[in-house]
Amino acid sequence: MSEISFSDPRELLEQSDLIAGRDEIGQALDRMAVEINAHYGDSDIILLAVMTGAILPATWIATRLNMPLRMDFVHATRYSGQTQGGELDFRVPPRLNLQDQHVLVVDDIYDVGLTLELIERYCLARGARSVNSAVLVRKQHGRETAGELPRFIGMDVDDRYVFGCGMDVHEHWRHLTELRALEEGE
Ligand SMILES: O=P(O)(O)OC[C@H]1O[C@H](OP(=O)(O)OP(=O)(O)O)[C@H](O)[C@@H]1O
């Protein structure tokens, strides 16, 4: 995928297609929440949002959960506003003590999976009792790293650069409540 040049962020929208509308996103979140509520029952959990992309999905999921939960975040990035990933830059660790806690890591997207693999490993090294991941979107391409798939997945998308629902394209359009994909070749 080549990097895009643009002079106005609106051009990025014009060069994209709708993948899932607001209703479809809502239904995916509802399905995930049913699974997460069933999995944890009444156990206390820590919901750990992976910033920045989880900023919307973590909020949307949290408001659908029934158990006692505490919210925290890590800030980790390996795309830094680009469409090609690099090394994970772990900028801010969790504030809460993860020792003996059930940790649900929430992110916007599972692409090759390196980000979640490293964050899950980090939580286990901090003594978490259990660690699971939930993502709104999983990209299907067969290039996943050796890490396990997230336990909770909202929807699968084709191998295109997607944005909206927390995901950025060159840091723009995270706030869209729909999911869009850059046109092929962008
Ligand atoms: O499965 P992977 O290939 O590791 O990619 C997934 C990660 O990439 C994105 O984060 P990004 O690094 O773009 O930072 P951001 O959350 O600030 O957008 C996304 O939010 C995931 O955390």
pLDDT tens figures, 113-142: 999 999 999 999 999 999 999 999 999 998
Q: What is the mean pLDDT of residues 93-114?
A: 96
- Per-residue pLDDT band for 3 (boundaries 50, 70, 90) equals low
Q: What is the ipTM of this complex?
A: 0.97
Pocket (CB within 6 angstroms of ligand 1): 50, 52-53, 77-79, 85, 107-115, 168
Taking the centre of ligand 1 as the mean of its atom positions, its distance from the CA of residue 12, in whole angstroms, is 19
The domain spans of the chain are: 21-158
Among 3.40.50.300, 3.40.50.2020, 3.40.50.12500, 3.40.50.150, what is the CATH number of 21-158?
3.40.50.2020
Contact in structure between 159 and 48 (CB atoms under 8 Å): no
Asked if 89 and 103 touch (Cβ cutoff 8 Å), the reply is: no
Per-residue pLDDT band for 98 (boundaries 50, 70, 90) equals: very high
Query: In this structure, what is the dihedral angle of CA atoms 24, 30, 31, 35, given to the nearest 10 degrees?
Result: 160
Task: Tally Cβ neighbours within 10 Å of residue 101.
Answer: 23
CA of 109 to the centre of ligand 1 (A): 7
Q: Is the peptide bond preceding residue 59 cis, with omega within 30 degrees of 0?
A: no
